[in-house]
Structure 1
Amino acid sequence: MNPHEGLVSRLRAAWLSGKTRPMEYRVAQLEALGRFLDEKKQDILEATALDMGKPPFEVELSEISICRSELNHTLNNLGTWMKDEHVQKNWVTQLDSAFIRKDPYGVVLIIGPWNYPINLLLVPLIGAIAAGNCAVIKPSEISRNVERLVAETLPKYLDKDCFAVVTAGVEEATRLLENKFDYIFFTGSPSVGRIVMTAAAKHLTPVTLELGGKNPCYVSDNCNVHNVARRVAWGRFFNAGQTCVAPDYVLCSLEMQEKLLPALREAITEFYGPNPQESPNFARIVGDKHFQRVRALLNSGNVAIGGQTDTETRYIAPTVLVDVQQDDPVMQEEIFGPILPIITVASMDDAIAFINARERPLALYVFSSCKKVVNQVLEQTSSGGFCANDTIMHMTLTSLPFGGIGQSGLGRYHGRFSFETFSHPRSALLRGIGREALNDPRYPPYAARRLPLLRAATETKRRAVCAIL
């Protein structure tokens, strides 16, 4: 027997009872999540510091504040989101009721990553609860201190009949995926995403895959170099570069590279001091395996800034690489560390061609004082998200969907999009049992003379279009 079969069955029984459907229940569970964030804030700060030396300021901003914003936005709007959405009707159904009901899927599985172990676990959970589902939550075993914290304390806040935390390594997680879930939400690497999708396919389970990729950052010649350097450095080195939407590499002209390098050096010193290893504002790589992988990428191109490492503390300095070739190892995988390669291009068209020749990224950044340049990059490329003249900040808007495209992911969430992700839009037509004479034209024996009447009663007509030449 699968070790988690009983757990999934218990949660399914709770969901079938209808316990999670009332708005009052959903609100109570969401408010309990809010208490978890408030009461366990110090524990979260300590656990993330132990796992990856994450500065408290970064934890407050990227883990706790974002979760609280998502939670408040959901509580403010849940009543509206849950309402039936009435739709247009044809002539024959004018006396009936036609609407879309937002039904919960049932028992969902949420698998979180290690790099933002609170944010990327709880934000999907907020959507699952808001939509009326039961949920199995699996935090990453790599961020082991946060995993322990979530496993030991979160169940004390949520209804144990409807929500459960499962701790599991690779082998146990594989067994967990063998169970039939009604929806799976996964955040992690594309390679593991394929495993999740394969397991989901056996039960025809829908999935959201929040993956990653190499996010390009094009810097045009007409922009404020000082501001660009500060915003790019912040986005790249926040959480020691272990961010799925961090700018992964810069594309710019050779002339801009010469201006950008001293500006980046100045920004790094401003943020982390002359020796970032001593800075309390710079995180560490999460584990030895990840440290070895990221350190090996330093052999690509030439180090222009940084490059220092310390194995014992898993420290890699904020680093900028130049003379990077397209086939260098640093350009073959998502870096997920504090390394920023710069690749020179002759023009904006070459930059766009470079971006379009690769897998579509999770985020795409462009810096330019010219709106025409920004719009051209936006119109001629494809990515999960887009941000001009800054990095990462589009993630802070609950009004924008977050998700990838192609290799960088499948599906979307945040704000209302989280509620919709975990809701099945169920179509409903409620007709009266009387007025049978109105149905006679559609019944056999068929008569061709009835067709014009039926078509007029059921077909949607195209509106008249006035074209001004």
Structure 2
Amino acid sequence: MDSDTVTGETRRLAAVLAAQREAAASEVVPDLASRRTDLARLKAAIRAHRNDFVAVAREDFGRRPAEDTLILDIGPVVQGINHMHRHLGAWMRPERVPVPHTLWPGRAHIHRQPLGVVGIMAPWNYPFGLSLLPLATALAAGNRAMLKPSELAPASSRLLADLLADTFEATQVAVVEGGVETGTVFAGLPFDHLFFTGSTEVGRKVMRAAAENLVPVTLELGGKSPVLLARDADFAKAARDIAFGKVANAGQTCIAPDYVLVHEDDTKDFIARLKPEMARAAKIAGRRGGPAGIISARHAERLASLQEEARIGGAVVIETGEEGNVTPTIIIGLRPQMRLTREEIFGPLLPVVTYATMEEAIARIGSGPRPLALYLYTANRDLKGRVLRDTLSGNVTLNGVMTHYAVESLPFGGVGASGIGAYHGRAGFEAMSHAKGVFEEPRRSLIPFGRPGGRFVKLFARYMMR
């Protein structure tokens, strides 16, 4: 875009934001009934267009099993809406909190109010779920919202724009379509909160742009999420789970297993179990219309480059099938300088890394950026506690892969380079609300404020400093 075009785009988006602000000013705090109605309307629209979601996802990804879209993309939105609808009344009620003895018999409450207008920047890998679940959360918190879908999934973006325009007034929910330049303008708007899901690299740029207007952000990013297999791990289950995580959506999932840590004496046994499970998962996906394709030629070339660098560097590369435009692949013997060791993979390539002691495995996890997710397979209660205590990650699934995402009562979010803030369920409602603290002072109390020379002032001061 040239400068005139950027100025025009800025004016266009600013006008949408201004209209939403004006509408928000006329209804500062939507009541419970209207919020539940909004959630119900959104859920009904999603259910009515389920076949359209499947069709346009296949158009954007080249091919994609219907189950990947229904279970992994729009299913979590429907379940999330159900959870919010059920608990919203309790979340909205003022929360009474304790007061110190010195302020008795006063009362204190927290009142949660809408922030105003929330901006949502969504990625391409799950174009529906990672757009509509933040949107549903914003609506549950009583906000207006502007949504910027990814230009890398244009058919999905167009469906979202049409569906939401048919469901809500533009002064309540507006979809802004466009490329990188539009996204840059969008990130710089003076929202009341900005919600971004995407890569760490782009997240830094979004946060920098938001800081110009002191806009608070929630950043849902990514990272190298490890799977740690203890000596007592159920290798058969772990192999099935990991294969699913790497083949589903062609591994283009922010919480997909990035690499596996296995004891050096168990590597051969685990690989023997993993290889057929990877091939089986790809074959099943192929029968269902997939597996999903890599989103673009550029992303496919990047994955091929990562794999080739490892091969040239002496790593063992085990391809497990021919389905898809990047074959599900196991890679053994990576070196620290290789990009597969350092970069988030975001595709169906799975490094397997050996360790000699559990101390070494835990230290390896801790030596890099904080992962968005961590997976541990063990039946040992003490080891579970040790790993949970000695590692820092966004979320954890024990003896499974990715299923923590489906638990709406858990906050979902990263830490450090994998994200800032969390959402899902109550955590999302609170992230998109303002917690207003209210103290009601009693008519008669020992509080000396505003009463110079009161008989209890000296006593009160001594008590406060005890």
Normalised by the length of structure 1, the TM-score is 0.91
Counterpart CA distance in 2 for 1:19 and 1:349 is: 53
Question: 2:449 matched to which residue of 1?
Answer: 442
Q: Does 1:227 align with 2:232?
A: no
Counterpart CA distance in 2 for 1:224 and 1:6 is: 57
Which SS does the other structure have where 1:365 is aligned?
strand
Contact kept? 1:111, 1:186, Cα under 8 Å: yes
Contact kept? 2:118, 2:145, Cα under 8 Å: yes
Unaligned runs of 5+ in 1: 462-469
Q: Does 1:152 align with 2:162?
A: yes
Contact kept? 1:212, 1:404, Cα under 8 Å: yes
Contact kept? 1:322, 1:341, Cα under 8 Å: yes
Question: 2:318 matched to which residue of 1?
Answer: 305
Q: Does 1:9 align with 2:18?
A: yes
Q: CA deviation at 1:255?
A: 2.2
Which SS does the other structure have where 2:292 is aligned?
coil
Q: Does 1:362 align with 2:372?
A: yes
Q: Does 1:50 align with 2:59?
A: yes
Q: CA deviation at 1:379?
A: 1.4
Q: CA deviation at 1:453?
A: 3.2
Cα deviation, 1:280-331, whole Å, max 9, x if unaligned, reads 3421101111111111111215344317779xxx611111001111221111
Contact kept? 1:298, 1:307, Cα under 8 Å: no
Question: 2:47 matched to which residue of 1?
Answer: 38
1:12 counterpart letter in structure 2 = R
Which SS does the other structure have where 2:30 is aligned?
coil
Q: Does 1:143 align with 2:153?
A: yes
Q: CA deviation at 1:161?
A: 2.0
Which SS does the other structure have where 2:266 is aligned?
helix
Taking a change above 3 Å as real, the CA distance of residues 209 and 279 of structure 1, as seen in their structure-2 partners, is same
Q: CA deviation at 1:129?
A: 0.4
Which SS does the other structure have where 1:402 is aligned?
coil
Worse-superposed segment, 20-29 or 336-345: 20-29
Q: Does 1:83 align with 2:93?
A: yes
Contact kept? 1:307, 1:316, Cα under 8 Å: no
Counterpart CA distance in 2 for 1:317 and 1:329 is: 18
Contact kept? 1:70, 1:123, Cα under 8 Å: yes
2:216 to 206, 213, 228: 206
Q: CA deviation at 1:227?
A: 1.4
Q: CA deviation at 1:93?
A: 4.5
1:280 to 286, 289, 299: 289
Worse-superposed segment, 168-177 or 67-76: 168-177
Question: 2:135 matched to which residue of 1?
Answer: 125
Q: Does 1:263 align with 2:273?
A: yes
Question: 1:350 matched to which residue of 2?
Answer: 360
Cα deviation, 1:203-250, whole Å, max 9, x if unaligned, reads 111100000000111112222221111111111221110010011001
Contact kept? 1:90, 1:460, Cα under 8 Å: no
Question: 1:290 matched to which residue of 2?
Answer: 299
Which SS does the other structure have where 2:15 is aligned?
helix
Question: 1:464 matched to which residue of 2?
Answer: none
Which SS does the other structure have where 1:13 is aligned?
helix
Q: CA deviation at 1:68?
A: 0.8
Contact kept? 2:189, 2:210, Cα under 8 Å: no
1:411 counterpart letter in structure 2 = G
1:387 to 394, 397, 414: 397
2:460 to 453, 457, 466: 453
Taking a change above 3 Å as real, the CA distance of residues 258 and 78 of structure 1, as seen in their structure-2 partners, is same
Q: CA deviation at 1:91?
A: 4.7
Counterpart CA distance in 2 for 1:266 and 1:260 is: 11
Worse-superposed segment, 210-219 or 156-165: 156-165
Q: CA deviation at 1:58?
A: 1.6
Q: CA deviation at 1:448?
A: 9.1
1:253 to 241, 245, 263: 263
Contact kept? 1:277, 1:315, Cα under 8 Å: no
Counterpart CA distance in 2 for 1:322 and 1:69 is: 38
Contact kept? 2:282, 2:321, Cα under 8 Å: no
Taking a change above 3 Å as real, the CA distance of residues 28 and 449 of structure 1, as seen in their structure-2 partners, is closer
Report sequence identity in percent.
Answer: 35
CA RMSD of aligned residues (A): 2.2
Cα deviation, 1:250-300, whole Å, max 9, x if unaligned, reads 1112221101111112212332339x7676342110111111111111121
Which SS does the other structure have where 2:223 is aligned?
coil
Counterpart CA distance in 2 for 1:198 and 1:100 is: 31
1:269 counterpart letter in structure 2 = A
Contact kept? 1:11, 1:162, Cα under 8 Å: yes
Question: 1:467 matched to which residue of 2?
Answer: none
Which SS does the other structure have where 1:247 is aligned?
coil
Q: Does 1:24 align with 2:39?
A: no
1:349 counterpart letter in structure 2 = E
Which SS does the other structure have where 2:142 is aligned?
coil
Which SS does the other structure have where 1:186 is aligned?
strand
Counterpart CA distance in 1 for 2:18 and 2:260 is: 49
1:251 counterpart letter in structure 2 = L
2:189 to 164, 171, 179: 179
Unaligned runs of 5+ in 2: 1-6
Counterpart CA distance in 2 for 1:19 and 1:343 is: 54
Contact kept? 1:8, 1:107, Cα under 8 Å: yes
Contact kept? 2:199, 2:221, Cα under 8 Å: yes
